[in-house]
Amino acid sequence: MSKVITIIGSGMMGSALAFPARENGNEVRLVGTPLDRAIIDGCRKTGRHLKFDRPFPEGVKYYQFEEWKEAVGGCDFVIGGVSSFGVEWFLENVLCELDPSVPVLSVTKGLKNLDNGDLISYPEYWKRELAKRGVERDICAIGGPCTSYELVAHDQTEVAFCGYQSGVVRMMKEAMTTGYYHISTTNDVEGLESAVALKNGYALAVAMTIGLVNRDLGADAGLHYNSQAAAFYQAVKEMRLLLEMQHSSRDCENMGIGDLYVTVYGGRTRKIGILLGEGKTYQEALEILSGETLESLVVTGRVCRAIRRKAELGMADINQFPMLMHVDEGRDRGKDAHMPWEDFTFDNTEA
């Protein structure tokens, strides 16, 4: 049975989800944030997103943000398509105003670090903030290896939907599943959201090795896979330790590793990692990528602050995370991108 789906946030991922949603026979309403006016204007004129190379499926409806309450009228669920920089905006301007009976599915990736060193997902953050306002709401989320432009191209894609209300999650899966968009389901919200957020800082680190080859061996040296694989191994090792701290299930951990792979090989995180490896400072890289949404830097900083706090409390060993600390030291203290390779080795031989 077809649904009415309202997507709020017409950035690349939110807009990409309009493709499987509409092609599965649902009514789809795409709403821009106040920053998306040009996108929605363009969609209304051409039926095409400014950054996609194919038009939206016929029948998608477009709304400016001041029309969002009209767009959610009678909808079966809302997809929140804002970036991590819009978390507070989405809370104040949508979640606090939206009928609590309307389910929400978020694509926003990231974590919040608390004073005690704990890391919580955005769905958990929103839930706690809404509770302070007397609103009870569980928010579902999407996680897994998926780039927006490849979803639009109908590349075979496997993700997971998470939420505490199993019936709601299954309803969303049924509404969104297509021949190219495949969805697992889980109640492990913190596990899945932690896995797909943590991958950002580690994908940045792995991408740095590509830039390091360019710097050390020359731009015409081509891709060298030994260093990428060595960094990938260390990234997975550290991610697993962090996900154990987050009590993540193995399935969610595996989704995070898949997401790490796709983030290394495509998107904005890859770009900044390569620039840093080539010897650019963080400020220079940010200037080169002006206008890009670099969520990986935010996540890395928050996770490192959480680890350091846990270490102060005797609840974590900072020496178990040399790669993430290396990335953070480069961001905060200008440390060169060359990896501390020996710190990644281990000795499991008997004395």
pLDDT in tens, 265-304: 987 889 999 999 999 988 888 889 886 667 778 888 899 9
Distance between CA atoms of 204 and 327, rounded to whole angstroms?
8
Average pLDDT score, the chain: 94
Tell whether 307 and 227 lie within a shared domain.
Answer: yes
- Kindly state whether residues 273 and 316 are assigned to the same domain: yes
Q: Which of 132, 154, 187 is the last residue of a domain?
A: 187
Q: From residue 210, how far is each of 213, 224, 285 by CA, in Å? A: 5, 7, 15
Domain presence at residue 315: yes
Separation in Å, CA 293 to CA 17, 132, 244, 290: 19, 30, 29, 9
Among the listed residues 185, 179, 210, 206, the one whose alpha carbon sits nearest the alpha carbon of residue 260? 206
Q: Find the CATH number of the domain harbouring 47.
A: 3.40.50.720
Q: State whether 306 and 242 are in the same domain.
A: yes
User: Do 55 and 99 share a domain, yes or no?
Assistant: yes
Q: What is the reported pLDDT for 222?
A: 80
Q: What is the reported pLDDT for 295?
A: 77
Query: How would you classify the pairing of strands 27-31 and 4-8?
Result: parallel
Q: Residue 291's pLDDT is what?
A: 64
Q: Does a structural domain hold residue 173?
A: yes
Confidence at residue 31, expressed as pLDDT on a 0 to 100 scale = 98
DSSP summary character for residue 343:
G
Do 205 and 243 belong to one domain?
A: yes
- Write down which residue in 187, 207, 232 finishes a domain: 187
Which structural domain range is residue 132 located in?
4-187
One-character DSSP codes across 3-68:
-EEEEE--SHHHHHTHHHHHHTT-EEEEE--GGGHHHHHHHHHHSS-TT-SSPPPTT-EEE-GGGH
Q: Are residues 13 and 75 in the same domain?
A: yes
Mean pLDDT by 10 residues, the chain (351 residues): 96 97 98 97 96 96 98 98 94 97 96 96 98 96 96 98 98 98 98 95 94 91 91 97 96 96 89 92 86 76 94 95 92 84 95 81
Question: Does one domain contain both 281 and 245?
Answer: yes
Q: Quote the pTM value.
A: 0.94
* pLDDT value of residue 219: 82
What pLDDT is recorded for position 290?
Answer: 80
Do 182 and 203 share a domain, yes or no? no
Number of domains in the chain: 2
Token reading at 57: 């499926």
Same domain, 26 and 74: yes
pLDDT tens per residue across span 139-182:
999 999 999 999 999 999 999 999 999 999 999 999 999 999 99
| Domain endpoint, select from 187, 219, 245 | 187
Query: Residue 192: inside a domain, yes or no?
Result: no
- Name which of 163, 177, 157, 151 is nearest 104 in CA terms: 163
Per-residue pLDDT at 316: 94
